[in-house]
Structures are given as structure tokens and as C-alpha cells.
Structure 1
Amino acid sequence: MTLKVIGSGFGRTGTMSTKLALEELGFGPCHHMLEVMQRPDQPAHWAAIAAGRPVDWHAVFDGFNAQVDWPGAAVWQQTMHAFPEAKVIHTERPEEDWWRSFSTTISKFFTNAPTMDLPPHTQDIFRTMSGWFLKETFEDHTDRDCAIAAYRRNNKAVRDLVPADRLLVFHVADGWRPLCDFLNVPVPDTPFPRSNPRDEFWAHFGGEPA
């Protein structure tokens, strides 16, 4: 098994809905932050990546046909070369919508995680993420202007570096058609998945902190 789809979009751009859609289309399992939290073999891979050690990308994504969301979205430039046949799906949403969602979920989580009552392995995972891609991606993830600047940089880099024939810039509001056309698969006779509102995000961590 090898990656057929690489997701380069930031978290909170519809990555969970895209994960569910890809799995419904036959491109599962799809790697997502949830898999890093739930699969015992995953955290060690990302700790090694964060430490700058040599990486066997096929081992990191062993058992997966697709990847979306962080932390995989932080290494799309590397995986794009490691999996040269894979197509790149870049999820986006309007930047102010993204900031409102990001600031009340991922950014708020990383701000509060050190004082939250989380299982030890979850604390370890997010300590790794905070010291690695969050620090490298954002000058200050709590500052709107800094965060949006990072969002724009990534969106531009994807457009500049991914060959056009490998790239779909995807808005989940557009539903099945652009995704299915890009992947050359039939459009399902089911509604496009809609998932991961704010309360669903915080349910993974026992509720939203005050």
C-alpha cells in the first residue's frame, strides 16, 4: 500500500470531511491527526520527524492510501517527492473563516494543552507537534495577522510547487464533483460528508476549556 493522495491544506480547512469523503471513494484508510492519537505506532514516527532524523516515508504511512490534515500536511513537500504518483489535494476555505475556526480549536488547544487533563501519550504527541511544525509554521499562532500570513504562505507555496496536473485546490462546500473528477471515480449517490464542527473537535479532549 502506498499514498495515492497527499493533503497539503492546513487543519480546519475541511480536512475531516475530506478524510471521510476519500474513504467513501475507496482511498482509505486516510491518515489524519486522529490516527496519530489513536495508533500506537504513529507517535514515534512523528517524534523522529520533528527531531530531524532520517525518515522512511513509506514506513510512516504504511497501511494508508491517503493523507490529510496535520501533521502530514506539514511535510507535503517531502511526501510529494517520496510518492511521485500521488495526487495532491489542497483544502482551503476563506481565510477569515479559517482563522475563526483555527483560533477557537487548534490554536486554543495548543495554548491550553499544558494545563489540560490529557492522557500522557496525548500530552507527548502535542508537545512534539508544538515544538515542531506549530513553531516552524507560525510566528505566533495566537495572533490573527501572523496566523493568516502563514496560511497564505502555505497556499501560495502549494500553487507554486505542485505541478498543475497533480493538484486540486478543493473547497469542501463544492461537494463531490471536483473531487471525483480529479480522482477519476464516480460521484457517489450519497451526501458529501460534513464533519468536525467546534464541539466535535473538543469532544476528542473531554470538552472545551473555559
Structure 2
Amino acid sequence: MAYANLPYTPKPITDIFTADTDIDRRKCQRVVPMRVLALGLGRTGTASLRTALKELGFDDCYHMMSASVENPPDCLMWQDAFAAKYDGVGKFGREEWDKLLGHCQAVCDWPAVAFAKELIEAYPEAKVLVTTRNVDTWHASTMKTVDWRANDPELKMVSRFDWGSGLYQPMLRKFWDVFFGGDFEKNGKQRYIDYYEEIRSLVPKENLLEYRMGEGWEPLCDFLEVPVPEGKKFPHTNDTDGFVDRCRARNRAQMMNVAFRALVVGGSVAATAFSAAMTIRRFVGSRGSLLA
């Protein structure tokens, strides 16, 4: 099912338990050059890579977290991109990428990997790299994290009522369905193999860096032609053990948003009803006195 051109809705003022921004990317444009396309699949160290790229001056670096916990309205444009590529609805080219990613000098992680070919074509001047790892350990890690999140019944429930998760959950589910054929456990490993072969076919070997976490700054900096940061360890973030806890904490915060909105709206309705009842009572009482 295509979800193209879904309307933008502003963040409710009652969403006080989450710190999401509320930027309508459809109104944005490119303000910095796209310099790096880091097209390795998620759970290959992309969160650490994002931090590293920002440390090297490639700021901002787009990541799934950009849409999930930073600026949920981004999900509207990702849905436009999915609709154009996988459902043949609408178009999504350089102009649209510049709106969605125009504040970024780099991009990594999913859902961007679903558009590797399109991004390489849109930004031929950008350097291309992929993070890799053993396919079996990658699959096991992803099963415990993002596949769990894509199928999280609590997230699905919250998304029916909360602004941020209502934007994010359908986008994540759409990505998981189109990229992994709706069954990551069954299709994930072969998709991993096929995907990296596709990248190698799209980018000449001499223009592509295949990078594994643990190799440090040198190969990354050499490829990107930037100096190695002095006295700084390569970052390590987003471990598997903390992923589920962070997601559940996010669910709880969004539930609190929903509860607070219900309290405020419910309180306003109750106050309005009370005020109306008192007005009617005064009117009836006053009229009764006149008729007496």
C-alpha cells in the first residue's frame, strides 16, 4: 500500500515528555553539500560511524534516529520515497532528496539503504562507503533489535494515539516489508549478501571503501581525505543490550504524551461543560426570578 503525500501535522503542544523537533522537510532545501554516502546496512556499526563522521566534520549525518527520535515528520518524506520506488506513485528525485537531506553532509543506516542506487545517482560527487560485518552475527543482532522493533506490538499500539510514533511506526514497517520481503528472519541473510553485491556493482572498487568496526580512524580518514583526530578514540555506540531498553523508554515517554494530552483535553471539555451548566443555571434562575 502506498502512503504518498501524507499531510503534515504539527507536534501537539502537550508532547512534553519527548524532545522531538518538528520540521516539515517538504519546505526545506539543500544548505550544505552531500559529501558522504555511507550505505552499509544498519547494525553494522552505523551509529558509531555517524558519530565518527560528525567528529570529522561531516555534519549532520542522517541516520534512522533522525526520523525515529529526532524529527519524526521526516517519515512523511520517506513514505513519499517508498511510494515512488516500490508502488509507482509520485516521484522522488534530486529535488526531493535535497529537501529531506539538505541539512546533511552525510547519510548512513536505514531507511536510506533502500535507496542506495537513487542516492548514488543523485549525488555522484559524494564518496561511497559501506560498513560490513559477519552476516550471521549481523542477522542475530538485527533479530534482537530492529526486527523486534519493527514488530513491537507496544509501538504499534502507541502509534495509534501518539504524534511521533504515529509517523515513525508506519514508515519503519513499510521499510521492513519492502526491503526484506516482509520476513526478515527468513530473508535477511540473503538480502544482506545481495545488497552488498549490488553496491559493489554500482560503485567502482577504487571508489568504494568497505569498512569494519575496529579498523580505527586511519582507513576511514584516508578514504575521506581528512586528518585523523588526535587523541580521540573511535566512537562505539548503540550496543545491542541497550537498544530494547531505549525503545521501551521511548514508548513510555510517548504514552505519557498521550495521557497528558487526554488529561488536558479532557479537563478542557469538563471545564467547558461546567461553565455552560453554570451559565444555564444562572440564566434559568434569573428568568425564574423575573417570572415569579
CA contact (8 A) 2:158 2:165 kept: no
Contact 1:107 1:141 in 2 (8 A): no
**1:58 alignment counterpart:** 98
The separation in 2 between residues aligned to 1:12 and 1:110, in whole angstroms, is 14
After superposition, give the CA deviation of every residue in 1:103-146 in whole Å (9 maximum; x if it has no partner): 00001111124545454422432212322x32222134342x52
**Where does residue 237 of structure 2 map in the other structure?**
195
Gaps of 5+ in 2: 1-31, 85-89, 252-292
Structure 1 residues 126 and 40, CA gap change in structure 2 (3 angstroms):
closer
Greater displacement, 85-94 / 119-128: 119-128
Higher radius of gyration, 1 or 2: 2
State yes or no: 1:92 paired with 2:132: yes
Matches of 2:184 and 2:202 in 1, distance apart?
Answer: 28
**What runs of 5+ residues in structure 1 fail to find an aligned partner?**
none
* Residue in structure 1 matched with residue 80 of structure 2 by the alignment: 48
Distance 2:208 2:190 in 1: 22
* TM-score normalized with structure 2 length: 0.66
Instruction: Compute the displacement of 1:16 (Å).
Output: 0.2
**113-122 or 163-172: which moved more?**
113-122
Moved over 6 A (4+): none
Among 143, 154, 164, the alignment partner of 1:103 is 143
CA 1:116/1:196 → structure 2, altered by over 3 Å: closer, same or farther? Answer: farther
Partner of 1:204: 246
**Secondary structure of the corresponding residue to residue 173 of structure 1:** coil
Aligned residue number for residue 79 of structure 1: 119
Residues 33-82 of structure 1, C-alpha deviations (whole Å, 9 max, x = no match): 11112125412211211221322211111110000001112111101111
Partner SS for 2:191: helix
Match of 1:206, SS state, is helix
For residues 165 and 250 of structure 2, the distance between their equivalents in structure 1, rounded to whole angstroms, comes to 16
Find the aligned partners of 2:131 and 2:62 in 1 and give their Cα distance: 15
Going from structure 1 to structure 2, the CA distance change for 1:148 and 1:4 (only over 3 Å counts) comes to same
Correspondence 1:149 to 2:190 = yes
2:58 pairs, out of 15, 23, 27, with 27
CA RMSD of aligned residues (A): 2.0
How far apart are residue 162 of structure 1 and its match? 1.1
TM-score by length of structure 1 reads 0.90
Aligned partners of 2:182 and 2:234: how far apart in 1? Answer: 34
**Per-residue deviation, residues 158-206 of structure 1 (Å, max 9, x unmatched):** 1111122331111112111110010011111210000111233224322
Tell me the distance in 2 between the aligned counterparts of 1:41 and 1:166.
34
Q: Secondary structure at the match of 1:204?
A: helix
CA gap of 1:208–1:46, structure 2 versus 1, over 3 A, is closer
Q: Bigger relative contact order, structure 1 or 2, given CA contacts below 8 A and separation 6+?
A: 1
Code of the aligned partner of 2:181: E
CA–CA distance in structure 2, aligned partners of residues 172 and 71 of structure 1: 20
Q: Contact 1:7–1:72 at 8 Å: present in 2 too?
A: no
Using a 3 Å threshold, how does the CA distance of structure 1 residues 186 and 27 change in structure 2: closer, same or farther? same
Number of residues of Structure 1 aligned to a counterpart in Structure 2? 207
Q: Which residue number in structure 2 is paired with residue 112 of structure 1?
A: 152
